[in-house]
Structure 1
Amino acid sequence: MRLKLCWLLLIFNTTALLAARIDTLMVPSTAMNKSIPNLVILPANYEQGEATFPVLYLLHGAGGDYTDWISKTPEIKTFADTHQMIIVCPDGGLTSWYLDSPIDHKMRYETYISRELVTEMDSKYKTIANKTHRAITGLSMGGHGAFYLAMKHQDIWGAAGSMSGGLDIRPFPNNWDLPKRLGPYSENREHWENNTVINMVYLLKGNDLKLIFDCGTADFFYDSNKRFHEKLLERNIPHDYIERPGQHNWEYWSNAIQYQLLFFKNYFTATK
């Protein structure tokens, strides 16, 4: 009995020592004159040896914050271990849409994430600091944000994903504070046309940016995802597209993230 107890304690202590480390990284943003919190999930073996790791930037949706993924899908801690990558969850504000707003110069989340946060991550952590070992994805507003940022900054990210992403924001002119970011559609059509992801396909060049996206067939963003897929097909842009039964909820995203992480893992492995 005593031997069994000692063995169980040894297993428990070893597991505790190898548990994923979770940091809250505060990053000062010069662009927005404030400090922004970010959740950083490190693989269990992060402190062992001199190994460096690829990084996945994982964005939350409208109304959420940097703690959403870890609180709603806590198994991402295990995924960081399984796939040997650092996962960083930035705070993107409640409804920033991850843009540098053309009408509100205090909202500069594109600059923050693509420049300030990436620089800080590469400075503070043992990252593989090149585009072929950086990926970005997100859900809903974060799906829009991930494609928006990656397509505009292909020197920073080599792969991008979207889950239930708002890939065409024009059908929703009054939703999720979009008029506060881009102005009313009737008066600022150019802002809307220039900042909706479906109109940014022209930025893609062949297979330079690896893309994966998915959406549930009962999701209100399903139509825009399907149209985005069709547009990529027309332009002969390689991509992985998945549609399956599902709604705009955490049950869907907790499932979807597993497929996307495997996609990014395979990408990182292939570019070693």
Structure 2
Amino acid sequence: MNTYKKTLLLLITCFITFIKANAATVDTALTHSDAMHKDIKAVVIKPAGYNTNKKFPVLYLLHGFSGNYSDWITKVPAIAGLADQYQVIIVCPDGAFAGWYFDSPANKEWQFETYVGTELVNYIDKHYATINDKSGRAITGLSMGGHGAMYLAFKHQDKFGAAGSMSGVVDIRPFADSFGIEQMLGKYSEHPDTWEKNTVINMVYLIKPNSLAITFDCGYDDFTFKVNSALHDELLMRKIPHDFTVRPGTHNWEYWGNSINYQMLFFSRFFNKQK
């Protein structure tokens, strides 16, 4: 092999090594829920340059109805690049087909508020180099996961410093006969009080101005547009600072794959303000 070929091969090898060293690592973690007495998978994306000598902020990214923990990395693989760009660990939990991120009073086998809001957070902080404080944690999601992110953040402001939602079902009452919600809360006609206290729009009273950084968005042609606009109005009335964005689009992955770019920027600015 001549000198030119050797040099070229060396350069290619170095380039491949550099790329591998500067790319996110996507793992599937097997976590455990004592509340539900079972193991649950979660995708964990570690940014390029991850090492235990540095503490990283964490974004919990929730899937929607009928999805699972692998949805985001499978359908929007570019989120790995966002983990690199913003030096953030991204965690994609499993909220089951229709878990809705509640602790279900109707079925004790469905305790996803406790799992995501407490058990998973504790697992991630124990096994990864995280900023173990609300200043280093954010949570967002799409549709059912948008509801879940707001719901968990509103109720657990000691855990999450920032929250977001993309096309979130932020008022579950108009969808009482859809998406398996009654499996979690019982029928609305039989348990109206349970529904009223567990819908995000009725939980705004839990927030004090500037206690939680909030961003949410929705496509104009999305079936959740009206409930998102109503949440915006409620936050305005209570003088709760927030970002609310309306874009062209509907309830699909094309919209969410675009939306996550803007939300990551919002959360990065939040994390950097805390330093």
Give yes or no for the alignment of 1:23 onto 2:23: no
Q: 2:187 aligns with which of 174, 179, 184?
A: 184
The answer to whether residue 28 in structure 2 is matched with residue 10 in structure 1 is no
Alpha-carbon separation, structure 1, partners of 2:234 and 2:256? 24
For residue 34 of structure 2, what is the amino acid of its counterpart?
Answer: T
TM-fit CA distance, 1:8: 2.6
1:97 aligns with 2:132: no
Query: What is the letter of the counterpart of residue 162 of structure 2?
Result: A
**Secondary structure in 2 matching 1:19:** coil
Report how far residue 10 of structure 1 moved. Answer: 1.7
Q: Map of 1:48-59 to 2, 5 A cutoff?
A: 50-59=53-62
Equivalent AA in structure 2 for residue 31 of structure 1: A
Conserved? CA contact 2:166–2:218, under 8 Å: yes
Q: CA deviation at 1:101?
A: 0.7
Q: Which amino acid aligns with 1:165?
A: G
Partner residue of 1:60?
63
Number of equivalenced pairs: 271
TM norm structure 2: 0.97
Instruction: Give the Cα separation in 2 of the matches to 1:241 and 1:41.
Output: 27
Q: What is the identity, as a one-letter code, of the residue corresponding to 1:181?
A: M
Do the aligned residues in 1 keep the contact of 2:125 with 2:132 (CA within 8 Å)?
yes
Which residue does 1:158 correspond to in 2? 161
Deviation at 1:192?
0.8
Q: Which moved more, 1:239-248 or 1:22-31?
A: 22-31
Q: Secondary structure at the match of 1:24?
A: strand
- Segments of structure 2 that go 5 or more residues without pairing to the other structure are none
Task: Say which of 219, 222, 226 aligns to 1:223.
Answer: 226
Query: Are positions 1:39 and 2:43 aligned together?
Result: yes
Which amino acid letter does the alignment assign opposite residue 214 of structure 1? D
Q: Deviations over 1:163-216 (max 9, x none)?
A: 000001100111111111111111111111011100001001011100000000
Task: Structure 1: state its 5+ residue gaps.
Answer: none
Aligned equivalent of 2:264: 261
d(CA) in 1 for partners of 2:151, 2:127: 25
How far off is 1:259 after superposition?
0.3
Contact kept in structure 1, 2:134 and 2:158, CA below 8 Å = yes
Does 2:149 correspond to 1:146? Answer: yes
Q: Are 2:196 and 1:193 equivalent residues in the alignment?
A: yes
Deviations 1:136-173 (A, max 9, x none): 00000000000000000000000000000000110011
Contact 2:21 2:49 in 1 (8 A): no
RMSD: 0.9
Q: Secondary structure at the match of 1:79?
A: helix
Structure 2 CA distance for aligned equivalents of residues 243 and 20 of structure 1: 30
Structure 1 consecutive aligned stretches of length 4 or more whose deviation exceeds 4 Å: none
